[in-house]
Structure 1
Amino acid sequence: MAAKLPAAGYAVVRCSDEVVVATFHDFPDFDRALTYRKGDEISFMPLKSDEIIGTPTLVTQMLERAGYRVSQV
Structure 2
Amino acid sequence: MERVLNAWSEAVAPYLSEAEGTRITDAEEMAKVLWSALHGQFGLWWNVADLADARELAGAREALLLALFGRQ
Structure-2-length-normalised TM-score: 0.24
- Which has more helix, going by share of residues? 2
Structure-1-length-normalised TM-score: 0.24
> Could you say which structure has the larger radius of gyration?
1
Greater RCO between the two (CA within 8 Å, min separation 6)?
2
- Which has more strand, going by share of residues? 1
